[in-house]
């Protein structure tokens, strides 16, 4: 049974239209006209308990709007949404106990007091006993490597430590469904890895369901087997990350180090040359002729080293959005 269900989910916003000049200002004041902007259009998907799903799209695609509808912060203009069996917009207490929303550009911890004091406020809100509070904080502190940090004012923590503390606060009530909007935004590489490792461990330990948006493709490739792609408010793809690469990137990169430099004219007969720098060559080869092409390169040319890789997932997804492929 699915824990998140969205059926033909849509959201439109009325936007006032104003003509330039004084006349436009007067007309705008007395006879305001509007046009509708469709932020999300007929989006449908289901997510099973325990799944970790990546939610991808360019800026303005409708990702955050969708997350806000799923968490009940805004009401959909059309369609049906159920999360853990509840209508999110009713904001029932039992529903709020089961979910959390983490936004990388927002914070809930108070800036000038120790994070632990903010956590105690959260514990009171969720009616967590002192004994259970100590146990959960201890467990999450260990998982997040925050020992000795929670007694410091939040403003004294590094960005990575603050993000970890924000995660701890958001997960203190042990939600079943995690909506994460850019949780590693602005973090350095080491902090990003730490957050990913924690989310993976949390998912495995508690079988939590995770819907994750991120502009860092390393977050998606490290955590998500399934991805949803949204563009201009419409769902373009729902399937495995591997399936996305197979569908939209039916080619491989063949990187070769030659014993001696060769001309571009000669190399083009083996594939589409993407890069040629001295003895280093990168070919783009259709997958269906990959084996034959590699065999021909090894037979015809004096090769020192050869590697075959998939194109970067960022490049693939960028091409999908640019082309508007469905």
Tens place of pLDDT for every residue, the chain, 326 residues?
899 999 999 999 888 787 888 877 777 777 787 778 899 999 999 999 999 999 998 888 899 999 999 999 999 999 999 999 999 999 999 999 999 999 877 788 898 999 999 999 999 999 999 999 999 999 999 999 999 899 999 999 998 899 899 999 999 999 999 999 988 888 888 888 999 999 999 999 999 999 999 888 889 989 999 999 998 899 989 999 888 877 777 788 899 999 999 999 889 889 889 889 999 999 988 888 999 999 999 999 999 999 998 777 777 777 777 666 55
Gap between the Cα atoms of 181 and 167, Å rounded: 12
Q: Report the Cα 163 to chain-centroid distance in Å.
A: 16
CA dihedral 110, 111, 113, 118 (to 10 degrees): 20
Q: Report the Cα 47 to chain-centroid distance in Å.
A: 15
The pLDDT of residue 286: 85
The pLDDT of residue 250: 75
Question: Which DSSP letter does residue 60 get?
Answer: T
Gap between the Cα atoms of 189 and 150, Å rounded: 22
The pLDDT of residue 153: 93
Gap between the Cα atoms of 68 and 89, Å rounded: 10
Gap between the Cα atoms of 217 and 11, Å rounded: 27
The pLDDT of residue 19: 80
The pLDDT of residue 324: 60
Q: Report the Cα 306 to chain-centroid distance in Å.
A: 33
Domains of the chain: 4-9+46-245 (3.40.50.300), 251-309 (3.30.70)
pTM (global) more than 0.75? yes
Look at residues 308, 307, 325 and name the one whose alpha carbon lies nearest to residue 316. 325
Gap between the Cα atoms of 161 and 311, Å rounded: 33
As to burial, measured by CB atoms within 10 angstroms (0-12 exposed, 13-18 middle, 19+ buried), residue 256 is buried
Gap between the Cα atoms of 228 and 317, Å rounded: 11
The residues, ordered by sequence, that sit 6+ positions from 10 with a Cβ below 8 Å of its Cβ are 38, 40, 41, 42, 43, 76, 77, 78, 79
Cβ-contact 24, 18 below 8 angstroms: yes
- Sign of the alpha-carbon dihedral angle for 130, 135, 140, 142: positive
The pLDDT of residue 323: 62
The pLDDT of residue 103: 86
């Amino acid at each position: 049974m699915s824990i998140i269900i969205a059926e033909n989910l849509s959201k439109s916003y009325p936007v006032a239209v104003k003509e330039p000049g004084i006349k436009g200002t007067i007309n705008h004041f007395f006879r305001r006209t509007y046009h509708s902007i469709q932020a999300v259009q007929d989006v449908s998907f289901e997510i099973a308990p325990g799944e970790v799903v990546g939610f991808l799209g360019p800026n303005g695609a409708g990702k955050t709007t969708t997350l806000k509808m799923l968490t009940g912060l805004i009401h959909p203009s059309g369609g049906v949404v159920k999360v853990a069996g509840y209508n999110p917009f009713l904001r029932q207490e039992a529903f709020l106990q089961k979910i959390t929303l983490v936004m990388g550009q927002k914070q809930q911890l108070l800036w000038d007091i120790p994070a632990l004091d903010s956590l105690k406020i959260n514990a009171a809100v969720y009616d967590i006993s002192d004994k259970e509070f100590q146990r959960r904080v201890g467990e999450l502190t260990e998982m997040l490597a925050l020992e000795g940090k929670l007694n410091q004012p939040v403003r004294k923590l590094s960005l990575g430590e603050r993000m970890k503390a924000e995660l701890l606060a958001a997960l203190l009530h042990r939600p079943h469904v995690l909506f994460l909007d850019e949780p590693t935004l602005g973090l350095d590489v080491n902090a990003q890895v730490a957050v990913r490792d924690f989310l993976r461990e949390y998912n495995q330990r508690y079988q939590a369901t995770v819907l994750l948006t991120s502009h860092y493709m390393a977050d998606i490739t490290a955590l998500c087997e399934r991805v949803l792609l949204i563009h201009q408010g419409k769902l373009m793809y729902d399937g495995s990350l591997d399936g996305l690469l197979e569908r939209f990137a039916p080619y491989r990169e063949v990187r070769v180090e030659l014993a001696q430099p060769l001309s571009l004219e000669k190399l083009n007969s083996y594939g589409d040359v993407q890069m040629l720098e001295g003895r280093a060559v990168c070919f783009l080869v259709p997958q269906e002729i990959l084996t034959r092409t590699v065999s021909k390169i090894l037979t015809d040319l004096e090769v020192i080293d050869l590697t075959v890789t998939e194109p970067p997932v960022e490049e693939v997804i960028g091409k999908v959005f640019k082309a508007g492929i469905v």
